[in-house]
Structures are given as structure tokens and as C-alpha cells.
Amino acid sequence: MALRRDLLLGVIVLAALHAVLSFGAIGLFSRMAPEIERIIRANVVSLEACEAMLAALALTDGDEAERQLKAALAIASANITESPEKTLIATIQRNYRDAVKGSAGARRETLAAILALGQVNRDAMRRSDEEAQRLGNAGSWAAVFLAMTSFTASVVVIRRIRRRVVVPLGRIHDTLVAVRQGNLHRRCPTTGISHELALLATEVNGLVERIVKRSVAPTAAKSKDSLNRAMLLHVLDALPGPAVFVNARGDMLASNRAAIDLLSGPRAIAIVAALESCGRSGPALGDLIESVNKVGASEVWCCTLAGAAGVSSDARPST
């Protein structure tokens, strides 16, 4: 079934493209989540530890400062994500005790190492942010590309369905409307369409042909009857005396003017009876009928009535 296959294929293609677009966009944007999570887990924690160590160095109580600085240093040591952090944390561990006790050199080196540690994490956050933006831009353009691909494929599928289904059905409808309005020459095209619609168009054309035959046959029969009647009248016009055509049932088919004059006279009933007898029983000559001649191979008889000769032979139909 070509039509069913085309429709099913179009629906499947559109559904598949929309599914790819949806899941592709989800997959691309979901790659941004790990970057954001890594920034929070790796860099924000280290920056908070650096801030805690700086706050501890500002305390005047040496023991409390050492305790807080040690705790913050432990957090930073457990969260090393960049290679320079190891050297900086080692410098802080080596100098922080002397720094809280008031050694200017140790304090200077500790502050420089804490600030450098924070800068390393800020640089790492900046790089992660750039990577997240790159993934976001890539995901946006990929979504646009998938959307355009889906739109293009949808247009192709819709045009194909329109060409193979909608347009042929419209032509079949137009043909039926034209036939209903009296255009019996209109037909449905049967090429360039699916097999099923070609079969439908062929059936519609056959139906129109049957309608044409049924409408033309009565007209042709009526024209034939008119022609036959005109021929009978022409033959009657050529006869010199009163004549009548009767069929096998004795019915009068036509007569000329002379016969009509006789049939209007006092012997009309007798003449009609003689004509009926002639048609039903065969030729029967007498005082009323002079001659009877069969017209060809038909069941029609030409009866010449007994009457005055030389009567006008203008033929008129007798009903």
C-alpha cells in the first residue's frame, strides 16, 4: 500500500526528528551542569578556605588564630584541584605557625601564598565559566541546527503528502463537481499519483463513463425515433393517394393528408377497424383498403385506402 507507506513514513520521520531535537537539546544543555557543579565543588570551597585563613591571620589571639587557620588549611588541602595548589599549600603549612606568632617574614610568605591560592582558584573558575559558556553556545547552535533540519524535513514531508495525497484528492473532487454541473467530458488524471489514488481515480472515471452512457442513450434513441418518423412522413408525401402506416398491433404510426380527410369522414370507424385488422391479421383488401405493402423487414405495413385520387399529399403525423 504505497499511500499508507508514504503517510506512515512521513509521520515516523517527523516524530523521529522532533525526538532527536528534544533529546539533543537536553543532552547538550545537561553538559553545562557538571561544569557548574565542578566550579562549586572545586573552586568555591578553596576560595572560602582562603578567606577563612585570611580572617584567622587578622585575629589577635594567637591560639585561636592558629586553630582557625589550621582548620581552613585542612579544607584547602583536601580540595586540591589545580597543580599549583600543592606548592602554595605546602608554603602555608610551613609558615602559618610562625605567622600567627608574629614573625613578619613568615606572615608575609603566608599571606602571599593564601592570595596566590585564591587567584589560582579564581583563574580555574574563569576557565570553567568559559567552558560552560562554550557548551551553552554550542548547545544553542546545535538546537538551532536541529530545529532547522526538523523544519526542512517537515516541509519536504508535507509537500510530498500534498503532492501525492491532497492534490490528487482535490482533482478527483473537482472532477465530480464538474460532472455534477454538466461537464461530462471531465476526467480524473491517473498518472503521477499513488497506486491507491490511481485506482480510485480509475473507478471515478468509470462511473462518469456510465453516467455519460445513460444520459446519452435516451437522447440518441429520441433522435433515432424522430429520424424514423421524418422518413415515414417523407415516404407518405410521395404517395399519390390516402395512405397510412400501421404496426403489427394495428396502431396507426403516420398518415398523409388524404388519409386524414378520410379518417375524418363518415367511414372513419370502419377504416380504423380495417386498419387494425390489417396490422394484427395481415393484409386484408376490401372496399376500404386498396393495397397493403410491408415496409422492408419491419413489422410496419403501408396501407393505401380506397378514396378519391389526387388528394393533396401533404403529410402530417397521426397520433
240 three-class SS:
coil
Quote the pLDDT of residue 167: 85
Task: For domain 2-157, give the CATH number.
Answer: 1.20.1330
Better-scored residue on pLDDT, 227 or 246: 246
- What pLDDT does 319 receive? 36
The pLDDT of residue 180:
83
Confidence of residue 316 (pLDDT cuts 50, 70, 90): very low
Give percent of the chain above pLDDT 90: 1
Q: What is the pLDDT of residue 36?
A: 63
The whole-number pLDDT of residue 232 equals 67
Please list, in sequence order, all residues whose beta carbon lies within 8 angstroms of the beta carbon of residue 103, skipping any fewer than 6 positions away. 95
What 3 state SS string does 50-97 have? HHHHHHHHCCCCHHHHHHHHHHHHHHHHCCCCCHHHHHHHHHHHHHHH
Task: Look at residue 228 in the predicted model and tell me its pLDDT.
Answer: 67
Which neighbouring-strand residues pair with 292? 303
Contact 76, 117 (CB under 8 A): yes
- What is the average per-residue pLDDT within 106-116? 89
d(CA 24, CA 18): 10
pLDDT band at 218 (very low <50, low <70, confident <90, very high): low
Cα distance between residue 59 and residue 62, in whole Å: 7
pLDDT at 313: 36
Contacts of 66 (CB under 8 A, 6+ apart): 56, 96, 97, 100
pLDDT at 223: 55
Kindly report, residue by residue over 115-131, the tens digit of the pLDDT: 998 898 888 888 877 87
Size of the chain, expressed as the number of residues it contains: 319
**Which whole number is the average pLDDT over 300-305?**
85
Residue 85 has pLDDT above 80, yes or no: yes
Rg (CA), the chain: 57
- pLDDT, position 28: 64
Counting beta carbons within 10 angstroms of the beta carbon of residue 180, is it exposed (0 to 12), middle (13 to 18) or buried (19 or more)? Answer: exposed
Label residue 216 exposed, middle or buried (CB < 10 Å: 0-12, 13-18, 19+): exposed
Q: Which residues lie across from 50 on neighbouring strands?
A: none
Delimit the domains of the chain by residue range: 2-157, 239-316
Q: Chain-wide mean pLDDT for the chain?
A: 78
- What does the pLDDT read at residue 1? 55
Question: How confident is the model at residue 309, as a pLDDT?
Answer: 41
Q: Are 280 and 250 in contact (CB under 8 A)?
A: yes
All three cell numbers of 306, joined, read 380506397
Cα–Cα distance measured from residue 238 to residue 15, given in angstroms and rounded to the nearest whole number: 86
Q: Does pLDDT of 72 surpass 80?
A: yes
Whole-angstrom Cα distance, residue 34 to residue 105?
A: 41
Residues with Cβ < 8 Å from 254, sequence gap 6 or more?
229, 232, 233, 236, 244, 245, 315, 317, 318
- What number is the average pLDDT over the span 281-310? 75
pLDDT at 124: 83
Residue with the three cell numbers 582558584: 121
Tell me: the pLDDT tens digits for 138-195? 777 877 887 788 788 888 888 888 887 888 888 888 888 888 887 878 888 888 777 8
Which contiguous run of DSSP H or E holds residue 114? helix 104-161
Vertex 6, ends 188 and 20: CA angle to 5°? 150
Cell 386484408 appears where?
Answer: 284
